[in-house]
Amino acid sequence: KEIVLEKVCRSYRVPVKGSSFLEYLFRRKYKQIEAVRDISFEISAGETVGLVGPNGAGKSTTIKMLTGVLTTSSGNIRVLGRDPFADRKENARQIGVLFGQRSQLWWDLPPEDTFQVLKRVYKIPEAVYQENLKKYAEILGAQDFLRQPVRQLSLGQRMRAEILAVLLHNPKILFLDEPTIGLDVAVKKQIRNLLRVINRETGATILLTSHDMKDIDSVCDRMIVIDHGKLAVDDAVENVKKKYGTKETVEIEVEGDLNSPGDFALPFRAGCEIEGNLIRCSYDRKDLNAAAVIQAVMDRHKIMDVKVKEADIDDVVEEIYKEGAEI
């Protein structure tokens, strides 16, 4: 296993505001905040894993412990067989780390100048450096702006350059914390495509956190959900969608406007609403299916068009939070 966490906890001591300013200064009291509580999981070489959770769930703290930025309060972590905090210099040569709201590019210099520094730091052979730079810049559409100062780049351009910087030394593991935050749809697609290419061609392990569930659905085969610092779900993305993504919506367009509730009354309980000649029914697939809804409408009206919308990954994660699932 390339990544192993065993009963990992991380807590912080934060000051509590006193009754007066002087008390806060000289008799400061503290409370413990448990950011990560008793988390255990393993990730094998070549896996693509999404780490999901609401703000404050412990995702970024977990990534920081895995990359050696923070140490654990208790429990054990192994990355490539090493303690990531004690052996962070050795580990740094074999991992790539990107924090979406942090930059490793020099603000007043072009990205290529930072890349040259990284080439020396990681001792990347010239041929490997040029091959990776050309290949990944082409996939990301980044060729035209790598000689511009970073301060002149848009957010999307800067993030593509950040990802390029992380990939130059062929890391075995990629830790990506919110890599698409604030980006437009086109740039997000480029980044997702690149991550799939990296995993397929190099076998790199990817651990990705994101609030955009399309990142997880598009890139990852497995999903780990953390809620309030605890592990809630750990399963294949498709299995999670099947288990929790049971909500479905059918939109049926019928001939002629529907003017009264009696015009579209159906013989089952479903959350149905009417809009002109459009009937929209939402239901749980455990209790009902699209065929039954369509047939019930067909018995009463002439159908012009039908659309079935399954629960997307956002709906699935929302359902997990509602149920407070635990494994």
Instruction: Tell me the per-residue pLDDT of 81-111, one tens digit each, with 9 for 90 and over.
Output: 999 999 988 999 999 999 887 889 999 999 9
pLDDT at 218 over 90: yes
pLDDT at 116 over 70: yes
Average pLDDT on 122-137 reads 95
Same domain? For 213 and 264 the reply is no
Same domain? For 269 and 138 the reply is no
Same domain? For 57 and 154 the reply is yes
In a domain, 35, yes or no: no
Same domain? For 220 and 265 the reply is no
8 Å CB contact between 164 and 219: no
In a domain, 26, yes or no: no
In a domain, 326, yes or no: no
Same domain? For 221 and 258 the reply is no
DSSP string, 140-206: HT-TTTTTS-GGGS-HHHHHHHHHHHHHTT--SEEEEESTTTT--HHHHHHHHHHHHHHHHHH--EE
Find how far residue 296's CA is from the centre of its chain: 39
Q: Where residue 130 sits, what CATH number does that domain have?
A: 3.40.50.300
Same domain? For 149 and 206 the reply is yes
Return the pLDDT at 327: 45
Q: What is this structure's pTM?
A: 0.81
Same domain? For 285 and 250 the reply is yes
Same domain? For 251 and 264 the reply is yes
Average pLDDT on 199-220 reads 92
In angstroms, what CA-CA distances link 126 with 77, 94, 110, 186, 196? 34, 18, 19, 31, 25
In a domain, 64, yes or no: yes
% of the chain surpassing 70 pLDDT = 94
pLDDT at 252 over 70: yes
d(CA 43, CA 32): 29
Q: Where residue 297 sits, what CATH number does that domain have?
A: 3.30.70
Range of the domain at 305: 246-310
The domain total for the chain is 2
